[in-house]
Amino acid sequence: MASYEQLQESLIVGQEGKVKEVTSTLLKEGNSPMEILSEGLLLGMSVVGQKFKTGEMFIPEVLASAHAMSAGFALLKPVIAEDKLSDMYVGKVVIGTVQGDLHNIGKKIVSMILESGGFTVVDVGVDIPTDKFIEAVEQERPNLLGLSSLLTTTMPRMGEVIEALKRSNLRDKIRVMVGGAPITQAFADSIGADGYAPDAVSALDKAKQLLDQR
Ligand code: B1M
């Protein structure tokens, strides 16, 4: 029998093949894909973050873990999509990571969970300049704009996007949700975002709540 601990350990040491194998076994053994994601992959990745911070792991090792995480996540994605919480169209979201920031994994997971909850998601990618977000909002006309940032140095870009929405007369047509490891509710409030979510599952709840408030 496979375990979440095994999955975490193989992710931490960046063994992509083993991560795929344990993820598949956990799925075959009937574990919930959302639980495999949160108890296995996400917990493993948070250990990677701590080890990176304390200097026990370096960028090439972190990247190996990130690749392993993506490989495991790719196996879960179709199953989570099949398991849709709702088939109803809830709304449209444009989501991206702000300029200067290349972190992709959390945003991808948030996108996937929003899709599984019935949202149509347009993921514009990472390192997205403010004007590209404005273009995407003008083009896609989403109900919600999602901004992700993992670096304290790129957090201010979120406020700049909100200011640019105001200048383009788009602010009152759209809800803005922010998230990422360094983001807090207090920061979200300070830049005038409509909502903040600490993780992907609460991002889905928050997104629905924000659209209900329209
Ligand atoms: Co970077 N990195 N990294 N990194 N990296 C962090 C963020 C860091 C906290 C590590 C540390 O020091 N402990 C630190 C930031 C410190 C700070 O700003 N205070 C850091 C640093 C310093 C850097 C570099 C500067 C390192 C360097 O080059 N010296 C560099 C910056 C590059 C750049 O962006 N310009 C860098 C590079 C990288 C890699 C490329 C090696 C790799 C990214 C690979 C990739 O994404 N393709 C990487 C990784 C993997 C990490 C850690 C270890 C893990 C991030 C991750 O994927 N977590 C990270 C440490 C950490 O966060 N613990 C770290 C898993 C993911 C599922 O969680 O992204 O938090 P997360 O997403 C969550 C929530 O935050 C939330 O939901 C998600 C799912 O539950 N969420 C939202 C995210 N977005 C949301 C949006 C929402 C709502 C919720 O609404 C729209």
Q: Is 165 exposed, middle or buried (0-12, 13-18, 19+ CB in 10 A)?
A: buried
Say if pTM beats, i.e. exceeds, 0.75: yes
pLDDT of residue 201: 74
Nearest CA to ligand 1 atom 51: 49
Q: Which two tokens stand for residue 136?
A: 């995407």
Nearest CA to ligand 1 atom 5: 49
Please write the tens of the pLDDT for every residue from 91-122: 999 999 999 999 998 898 888 778 877 889 99
Q: Is the beta carbon of 197 within 6 A of some atom in ligand 1? A: yes
Give CB contacts under 8 A, 24+ apart, made by 195-200.
Answer: 197/110, 199/42, 200/106, 200/109, 200/110, 200/112, 200/113
Q: Which atom, in ligand 1's list, is nearest to the CA of 45?
A: 65
pLDDT of residue 87: 53
In angstroms, what is the span from residue 151 Cα to ligand 1's centroid?
Answer: 7
List the chain residues with pLDDT less than 70.
81-89, 213-214
Distance CA 118, CA 21 (A): 29
pLDDT of residue 81: 67
